[in-house]
Amino acid sequence: RKEVEQDPGPFNVPEGATVAFNCTYSNSASQSFFWYRQDCRKEPKLLMSVYSSGNEDGRFTAQLNRASQYISLLIRDSKLSDSATYLCVVNPNNDMRFGAGTRLTVKP
Amino acid sequence: DAGITQSPRHKVTETGTPVTLRCHQTENHRYMYWYRQDPGHGLRLIHYSYGVKDTDKGEVSDGYSVSRSKTEDFLLTLESATSSQTSVYFCATLDDSTDTQYFGPGTRLTVL
């Protein structure tokens, strides 16, 4: 079983749609959690950290459920520019572990 | 963006040859990482460093070695490249005040 598992996707949605990505992790000792975004042939970049209480940044909402070892990312009012691969990242001990990523394509 | 550069950006080599990839950072971050990224696998950790001369193995370390003689440089060496090491290699650093990783632009390595 992989340490971090994500919805395989791809997700193809129209502009304005709401889309949700899920992620589960196996190491219960994990201390911090993140969503990264990666554009085609580019390096990953931090989208947002995920806090226990849940957090929101504009159209993006991240949730963490420690008991179920589950992380989610919700994107509201999708834009064409949201098209990318979204990576779930878990940090058990400063050796970050990445999910394989979920590809999102937002279409006009 | 953190000042992370990787060299070379692209390399084609032959099976059995040694290859060294360089990562350079200007942020004075203590932690540095080498990942490889392959379709269907996402980013997999090869080795990481938590200080000068302090390194540890990641989940796919076989066939790779690393060295860190200065805070700013982290080298990844393939002693004898194999075709299975064809991949995109990313270097990253960790800002441990924010727990945020910053990535270099990547190196595309092809082993023929």
Contact assessment for residue B93 and residue B32, using Cβ atoms and an 8 Å cutoff = yes
**A-chain residues within 8 Å CB-CB of B41?**
100
Strands, E assignment, chain B: 4-7, 10-13, 19-25, 31-38, 42-51, 54-57, 64-70, 73-78, 87-95, 100-103, 107-111
CA distances from B35 to A54, A96, B21, B31, B85 (A): 29, 10, 12, 13, 12
**B-chain residues within 8 Å CB-CB of A34?**
99-101
**Residue to substitute from A95, A97, A102, A103, interface B, most B β-carbons within 10 A:** A95
Contact assessment for residue B14 and residue B85, using Cβ atoms and an 8 Å cutoff = no
Q: Is the predicted pLDDT of residue A75 greater than 70, yes or no?
A: yes
pLDDT at A51: 83
pLDDT at B2: 61
Residue B77 confidence class, pLDDT cut points 50, 70, 90: very high
What is the distance in angstroms between the Cα of A40 and the nearest Cα belonging to chain B?
A: 12
- Tally of residues, chain A: 108
Residue B42 confidence class, pLDDT cut points 50, 70, 90: confident
Write the Ramachandran bin of B17: left for phi over 0, alpha for psi from -120 to 50, otherwise beta.
beta
Q: Is the predicted pLDDT of residue B1 greater than 60, yes or no?
A: no
- pLDDT tens for A23-64 read 999 988 888 899 999 999 899 999 999 988 889 999 999 999
Residue A7 confidence class, pLDDT cut points 50, 70, 90: confident
Q: What does the pLDDT average to over B62-68?
A: 97
Which residues, other chains included, contact A4 with Cβ-Cβ below 8 Å and sequence gap of 6+?
A: A23, A24, A25, A26, A88, A89, A90, A97, A98, A99
pLDDT at B100: 86
Residue A77 confidence class, pLDDT cut points 50, 70, 90: very high
- How far apart CA B37 and CA B39 sit, in angstroms, is 7
For chain A, the average pLDDT equals 92
Q: Is the predicted pLDDT of residue A90 greater than 70, yes or no?
A: yes
- How far apart CA B110 and CA B13 sit, in angstroms, is 6
Count interface pairs A-B at CB distance under 8 A.
52
Return the percentage of chain A with pLDDT > 90, whole number: 78
**Residue to substitute from B57, B61, B101, B102, interface A, most A β-carbons within 10 A:** B101
Question: A10 preceded by cis ω (within 30°)?
Answer: yes
The more confident residue out of B39 and A73 is: A73
Q: What does the pLDDT average to over B74-100?
A: 94
Q: Is the predicted pLDDT of residue A70 greater than 70, yes or no?
A: yes
- How far apart CA B22 and CA B7 sit, in angstroms, is 5
CA distances from A81 to A74, A108, B104 (A): 15, 11, 22
